[in-house]
Structure 1
Amino acid sequence: MKKLLVLSSLLFAGAALAATPADTYVIQSAGDIPTLDPESAYDTASSGIIANLYETLVSYPGASLTKLEPRLATKWSITNNGKTYTFDLRKNVKFHNGDTFTCADAEYTFRRNLVINGGESGQWFLSEGLLGTASNGKDDKSVTWAKISNAVKCNAAGQLVFTLPKVDPAFLAKLAFPGQAIVSKEYTTKLNDWSGTEKDWQSWAGKEMQGSDLSKKPNGTGPYRMVRQDANTMLFTAFDGYWGKKPSIKNVIRQKVPELAARQQALLRGDADRIEGASRTVDEAQIKGKPGITWVDDLPNTSSPAIFMNWNIKGKDYIGSGKLDGKGIPANFFTDVNVRRAFSYAFNYDQFAQDVYKGKATQRTMALPDSFPGYNAKVKKYDFDPKKAADAFKKAWGGDVWKNGFVLNAAYRANTPTSQIALEILKKNVEAINPKFKVNIQPKQWSDLLKERNSGELPMLYIAWAPDYADPDNFINTFYGSTGFYASGSAIKDAQIDAWNEQARTSVNATIRNNLYTKIGNRAYDQALYILMPAPVAWIFYSDRLSGEGLTKATYNPMTDLEWSGLTKK
């Protein structure tokens, strides 16, 4: 413990950590961590930490995208024609504060997720499965305490029982999402949180929890616990009371280092063991083949990157004059399909793939990984065509777009070269079409970007979706459904797509679902709903002092966050 305290003091004083010890794993990333409260975690940065502090009922084993294995559950059964799930729970499990894990904690966790289901969280898909609606009790009056309490409860045998209103073939996979990690009922309720009872459930519906007391003082059952944090650094240590295999690495340090060059040098010097990189072009030039570095290539990529076009821009500060007068755009600028088609034709997909990924990227036809069921490579896709872009702009808004011009603000996550390059390419090509067109590019902190996206303030942004659960519904409904997660930030609504989507979500027939997804893909192309970015072949790199699960082709799993407890360091 003395060594840990010394390390902590140096860390928070900002001292260099060259030649980090073998029992310490140092990570450096460009952005902040929005939250450590599982309920509100809906980004990869937060989930990556939460997955090591907390545990879910089930998880993916090894590199599998289809199988699930017990974690805090030991086994389960599915009855009542697929609408009842009963879980036996692991015994002799401790939370970091010493509380003993019981069924009451699991019951509280899932009820809390259903009660709060805030705008910043990923609890909407849990609510869909258990309550039949993605909304909370504040936004949807059909959500009642009776529905919530009956949807998840402990039985007399201490088993956790979920009761669904209808069959959801993806329900089990949804429980592996880090946002469904189990919290301690007693500990959490003492943090001025929801009481776990009917008396105050309505006052907690839809609350913003990213900055909750639980986020500041996390308390999970996972192999690591948080020791300390400030604005730029987090310090974790192995949990001595962990029920499972004891971690080889004792300490983990997560640092926010916005400057890419600083992160690169830290890795090459041995100050860091793993860093957030940039584009393939940059990473290969600056990192690959350098002494002390392990590079693993040709890995599966299940993320779906896209440039969003918001149909109902609520951020008044982002639309200038709010008119098509050459000084801004109206809030409904992107409701004209010709505007969306014009921007889709204006993007140079091949240039982006070459500049960012050295050609190792695929321009997909749908906002769905090509490794997932339902993907159809025969669906049409847009090519870079300035003439077709100009023709579409001339038709847009009865000719006013071409005649008067516009000023558009586009956003991306700060200090991420890939997204910056994408918007720079689009800006250059759009402005070259007509001198009256102006595109401003704005970097934003990750937490701010997520908040403004969710509230529908941003006109256009680059963002990528990483799956919550391994089912095509997690992409199709998320991107294309008018009640899907991205609808709040894009206001997309297409009645035909909604009808097909609903059919696919209620069918267990794979052939029927796949045919419906093809129809959705073709319709999405016709309506130019997104500018779909080329998706790269994935790669990772890290200090050659590291080894373990998740760092090789055989064990890498794009559905899970890297588990620190499976790592060793020499």
Structure 2
Amino acid sequence: MPSNKRWLLIWSVVMSIVLIASACGPQPPPPPADTPAPGETPAPPPEEPTPAPPPPTEIKNPDTFVSCTISEPDSMDPAYMYDNASYEIMFNVYEGLMFLNREKVTEFVPLLAEDLPEISEDGRTYTFKIRQGIKFHEGGDLTPSDFAYTFWRGMIQDRAGGPQWVVLEPLTGYYAINAIADEMGDEGACEFIKSTVVPDDENWTLTFHLPNPFGAFLDILTTGWSMALDKEWVIEMGGWDGDCANWRDWNDPEDVESELYTAMNGTGPFKFDHWTPGDEIVLVRNDDYWLTEPLWEGAPTGPAFFERAVWKYINEWGTRYAAFEAQDCDQMWVPRQYVSQADELVREQWDAVDMSDPSKMTILNENGIARSFVNLAQVNSADVFFNQSVNVEGGNAYLGSGEMDGNGIPPDFFSDEHVRKAFNYCFDFETFIEEAWLGEAIQRRGPIISGILGFNPDQEVFSYDLAKCEEEFQAAWDGELWDTGFFLVIVYNSGNDQRRTAAEIIEANVESINHNFSISVLDVPFATMLDEIVSARVPLFIIGWIEDYHHPHNWAHPYMHSSGTWSQFQTLPQEQYDRYDAKIAECLVLPFGPEAEACYFELQAMAVEDVIDIFMVQATGRQYYQDWVQGFYFNPRYPTQQWIYRFSKG
């Protein structure tokens, strides 16, 4: 058992981090005293599906769609946001040049562009014709210059850990605005940025100039960082005025420093109404919505069905479940370990991407009130990341004492490969998949997911082995760690029970190896966790990745590159970054085929052999709705399935 001294240290660490979290982000409402227990296993379904009953005679809140979920947004600024919670709101307010064609992941339809672009023979120039007569919610007219400004503003903002590398790479050949400025100077970098996206308001065209062909560029233009902002409105809000002499004043802001942190003004079917931290975000219908022709056969047009769309942030599962059971929510987020309880409310379970094939439907409960969709192919992951040189500026409670003295860890604790191997061997992958995902996931085999070129099903990976875990810990830090012991804090975002389960598995198994090993698991608001990761203050963090575009580069880069979304905050040795950067660049220029596959196989092997992470799982997805909700279909490339415009009640 830990000494009294260590327990006092754990208590002080936890309390200090809780105080930090309270200051840095909104707190969820307190959970109720009682949480419903999981229900019994449902009876097997009949052989023939039963026809759906008529809709209920009384639909609750018929003019409002309510989503009950977890994790509030990081920001309302489209250039800043790089988290699913923020993207979910943006997806309903802002619009881009193109949209994905219903459930298809590689087919596009024009949205704010009149048609798909003209592409030059060399693949380096893309020209769009912009629709005329479209207005922003605040009354401004959409022009090609608004689109150009949107891209310029995003690229000069380029906040640490943000999304702009996705746009900068194809348009400039660089991953960061600072890298351009290092070569061209500040004004030169800005002028270069402007030369890559050129508006012509007279002819209503927008032209992109790429230094080299980039096969995934159209896919990138469907992402949130390509969605139009009203230039004049942003400037009125205090944003960058487009002057290349002063762009540094708007570069790499803190989230709350953005003029659009809590403000939105798009062209989409919903308008931003308010955000009450710790409670809800509310959007209201855009009654003047411009879309009159369906984007595909059967797609909606005109104003949305719902007058309001509401996101209720309820981190505690029992409270969220009770709200859905009372039909106060139209959709709820269900952690996989609570599926059996959620399924008690389900009448129709669809093993399909939509409701077009009745043979894919099973009746779970004749008296159920809900509809679920299962086995939905996902393009995301969940992993554990090691930080090999933790930032301790101003003190860092996650490290305890900050020394190798049994009451903490030094900042470079995870630079020892034996420590990283030990944590991998101590992670029970099978238990995690069964308990947290009910078996509806596979163990990862490196950065690149299954279902995309570069995934190697034969890549050797770690497996749960406490004997090897003990062996690696005994070898770590030349044997000093085994005798001295350690203490550290693992952080996960509040309400994410899968990540909590992963942290608790690590805690239990590592502590079982040696009574001198102590780990504390702490939940904090999602925005707080992101800030701590970006500041490189967290020694070990559990987080996921949802692909920005469907290409192995969008997996290798964020996990391994020196400017990668997560890897840059793992502070790996420079020699390691150099090796990864060179191989990533080599793979990117290869045409899809055996040569590119072999190159990405090498990257997968490098990541596993260097033990940069615990590559946990790639899971299938589930969605739960009240059975009066109509219009669902599944597109794994959507940043969220809650694109409310497609839904109705009836």
Deviations 1:328-362 (A, max 9, x none): 11111111111111100100000111111222211
Question: What SS does the aligned partner of 1:69 have?
Answer: strand
| Residue 638 of structure 2: aligned partner | 559
TM-score normalised by length of structure 1: 0.92
Q: Which amino acid aligns with 2:403?
A: K
| Identity among equivalent pairs (%) | 26
Q: Deviations over 1:84-132 (max 9, x none)?
A: 2111112221110111111010011000011111125211221122222
The aligned runs of 1:78-227 (5 Å cut-off) are 78-79=119-120, 81-137=122-178, 140-142=181-183, 144-155=189-200, 157-210=203-256, 212-227=258-273
User: Which of 429, 433, 453 in structure 2 is aligned with 1:373?
Assistant: 453
Counterpart of 2:609 in 1: which secondary structure?
Answer: helix
> SS state of the match for residue 452, structure 2?
coil
Structure 1 unmatched ranges of 5 or more: 1-17
Count of matched residue pairs: 548
Amino acid at match of 2:135: K
**Closer, same or farther: CA 210–511 of 1 in aligned 2, 3 Å:** farther
Unaligned runs of 5+ in 2: 1-57, 292-300, 347-367
Tell me the alpha carbon deviations over residues 392-437 of structure 1, each in whole angstroms, 9 at most, x when there is no partner: 1112121122121111211111121111011101110011111111
Partner of 2:491: 411
Q: Distance in 2 between matches of 1:152 and 1:511?
A: 34
What CA deviation, in whole Å up to 9, does each residue of 1:460-513 have, x standing for no partner? 111111111111111111111222111232123524333221101222343222
2:318 corresponds to which residue?
A: 261
4+ residue runs of structure 1 moved beyond 4 angstroms? Answer: none
1:53-72 correspondence to structure 2 within 5 Å: 53-72=93-112
RMSD over aligned CA atoms reads 1.8
Kindly indicate whether the alpha-carbon contact (under 8 Å) linking 2:432 and 2:501 is maintained by their aligned counterparts in 1.
yes
Retained in 2: the 8 A contact 1:307–1:461?
yes
Structure 1 distance, partners of 2:553, 2:344, is: 36
1:42 and 1:121 in contact (8 A); partners too: yes
Please give the alpha-carbon distance, in whole angstroms, between the structure 1 residues aligned to 2:595 and 2:190.
36
Change (3 A) 1:559 1:470: farther
Contact kept? 1:59, 1:68, Cα under 8 Å: yes
Instruction: Tell me what 2:470 maps to.
Output: 390
Match of 1:521 in 2: 604
Change (3 A) 1:351 1:531: same
Compare 305-314 and 324-333 and name the one that shifted more: 324-333
Q: 1:211–1:254: structure 2 CA closer, same or farther, 3 Å change rule?
A: farther
1:501 corresponds in structure 2 to 584
> What is aligned with 1:277?
334
What whole-Å deviation, never above 9, does each CA across 1:255-281 have from its counterpart, x for those lacking one? 222221111111111111112222x23
Are the equivalent residues in 2 in contact too, given 1:482–1:498 (CA < 8 A)?
yes
- Please, which of 8, 13, 33 is the counterpart of residue 73 of structure 2? 33
Query: Aligned partners of 1:129 and 1:202: how far apart in 2?
Result: 22
- The reply on whether 1:45 has 2:71 as its aligned counterpart is no
TM-score by length of 2: 0.81
Residue 197 to residue 140, structure 1, CA distance change in 2 (3 Å): closer
Aligned counterparts of 1:90 and 1:491: Cα–Cα separation in 2 = 45
Question: Is it true that 1:249 corresponds to 2:329 in the alignment?
Answer: no
Contact 1:342 1:393 in 2 (8 A): yes
For 1:509 and 1:355, locate their aligned partners in 2 and report how far apart those are by CA, in whole Å.
Answer: 37
Greater CA deviation, 36-45 or 149-158? 149-158
1:12 matched to which residue of 2? none
Letter in 1 for 2:580: I
What SS is found at the alignment partner of 1:400? helix
Distance 1:319 1:394 in 2: 20
Q: Is the 8 A contact 2:333 2:624 kept in 1?
A: no
Correspondence for 1:546 among 618, 622, 629? 629
Which residue identity lines up with residue 105 of structure 2 in the other structure? L
CA contact (8 A) 1:169 1:508 kept: no
Residues 41 and 120 in structure 1, CA contact (< 8 A), matched pair in contact too: no
CA distance in structure 2 between the aligned counterparts of 1:434 and 1:151, rounded to whole angstroms: 57
1:185 Cα deviation (Å)? 0.5
Cα distance in 2 for residues equivalent to 1:416 and 1:313: 24
Secondary structure of the structure 1 residue equivalent to 2:261: helix
Is 2:286 aligned against 1:286?
no
Alignment check: 8 A CA contact 1:55 1:181 kept: yes
Amino acid at match of 2:535: S
Q: Secondary structure at the match of 1:142?
A: helix
How far the C-alpha of 1:568 sits from its partner, in A, is: 0.8
Q: 1:312 aligns with which of 381, 385, 389?
A: 389
CA drift of 1:558 comes to 4.1
Paired with 1:118 and 1:354, the residues of 2 have a C-alpha distance of 38
Q: What does the per-residue CA deviation read over 1:365-405, in whole Å, with 9 as the maximum and x for residues that have no partner?
A: 12222112211111111100011111111121211221211
Contact 1:26 / 1:273 at 8 angstroms: preserved in 2? Answer: yes
Moved more, 122-131 or 508-517: 508-517
Question: How far apart, CA to CA, are the structure 1 residues paired with 2:594 and 2:132?
Answer: 41
Corresponding position of 2:511: 431
Q: CA deviation at 1:167?
A: 2.4
Q: Secondary structure at 1:366's aligned position in 2?
A: coil
Measured in 1, the distance between the counterparts of 2:212 and 2:450 equals 29
Maintained 8 Å contact 1:365/1:376 = yes
Partner of 1:3: none
Contact 1:467/1:559 (<8 A) preserved: no
Structure with bigger gyration radius: 2
CA contact (8 A) 1:469 1:559 kept: no
Moved more, 75-84 or 415-424: 75-84
1:421 aligns with 2:501: yes
For residue 140 of structure 1, report the CA deviation from its aligned partner: 4.5
